[in-house]
Amino acid sequence: MKFGIATFVTDDGIDPVSLAKAIEERGFDSLVIAEHTHIPASRESAYPMGGELPSIYYRTLDPFVTLAAAAAVSSRIELVTGIALLIQRDPIITAKEAASVDLISGGRFVFGVGAGWNIEELRHHGTDPKTRGALLDERIEAITTLWTDEPAEYHGKYVDFDSSYLRPKPVRKPHPPIYIGGDSDATVKRVIRHEAGWISNPLPVEHLAKRVGQLRDGARHDVPLSQFGTPADPDYWRAVEELGFGQVGLLLPTKPREESLRILDEFAEKVAQYRS
């Protein structure tokens, strides 16, 4: 099982360049970052983890700009959106941004996508919560088409464009890996429909086992399993590795540079002990 670092990159924490260098120097396998375009001031959606919404949600950098900066100072780690809120993104622009990061990094981009939980946030982007699942499906399909066809066209209910040329194409063929986030029966069906991977939150092992069983029973492909926000707990690592997770993203708290480097050192030591 591979170990990456998952975090919220913000304007008051460690900068993306220092972070990417530190992750690669310590032998981690990936940088996985979250996305929120903005947080509506009159927020009605309950924070899914309970309690008040942490300040990091208000301060996140753009994921593609962040990963491009990380790509420029690294050579090995995978660069992962965990997750890009695709129902809030124009698919043509997103296809270009993602392929550009993949090109800059030499084929190290991984496209984690999902619908998110903040209803007010997605409404500000003109997205109807009732149709967000169908919109997500079409945008995944449209982006995949733009990456693989030339010229490309897509005609759906929510995404519709005529024959077009889009460059650059991704380095990785046929396209970067796609992981879909979420925890629902609909998520399971979506992963199966798009022959994608699943990126989960650090849910209880028993619940993860249920979802993994659903995926394996229904999928015609070997579903890659990944995780965002994994706790620094070797017993939990062992349990998810036994379930078949190929990669976990250890949750790095958003802190200033020196404190972040200290925590990364602690994580690296724990991983080394686990692997030994």
pLDDT digits (tens, 9 = 90+) for 82-116: 999 999 999 999 999 999 999 999 999 999 999 99
Decide if 190 contacts 181 (C-beta within 8 A): no
The pLDDT score that the predictor gives to residue 51 is 74
Residue 50 has pLDDT above 70, yes or no: no
| CATH code of 172's domain | 3.20.20.30
Q: Which two tokens stand for residue 196?
A: 């994608």
Average pLDDT, stretch 198-222?
97
Residue 47 has pLDDT above 90, yes or no: no
Q: Which two tokens stand for residue 151?
A: 């010229």
Q: Residue 18's domain spans which residues?
A: 2-275
* Average pLDDT score over the chain: 96
Decide if 26 contacts 53 (C-beta within 8 A): no
| Tally of domains in the chain | 1
Residue 44 has pLDDT above 70, yes or no: no
Decide if 38 contacts 121 (C-beta within 8 A): yes
pLDDT tens-digit profile of 54-63?
A: 999 999 999 9
The pLDDT score that the predictor gives to residue 201 is 96
Give backbone dihedrals phi and psi of 160, rounded to 5 degrees, phi first: -150, 115
Cα 115 from chain centre:
11
pTM equals: 0.96
The pLDDT score that the predictor gives to residue 52 is 83
Residue 48 has pLDDT above 80, yes or no: no
Supply the DSSP string of 244-271, one letter for each residue: T--EEEEE-----HHHHHHHHHHHHHHH
> By C-alpha distance, which of 240, 221, 148, 149 is closest to 180?
221
> By C-alpha distance, which of 59, 70, 79, 65 is closest to 6?
79
Band of pLDDT at residue 42, cut at 50, 70 and 90: confident
The pLDDT score that the predictor gives to residue 261 is 98
Residues 174 and 184: their CA atoms lie apart, in Å, by 28
Band of pLDDT at residue 45, cut at 50, 70 and 90: low
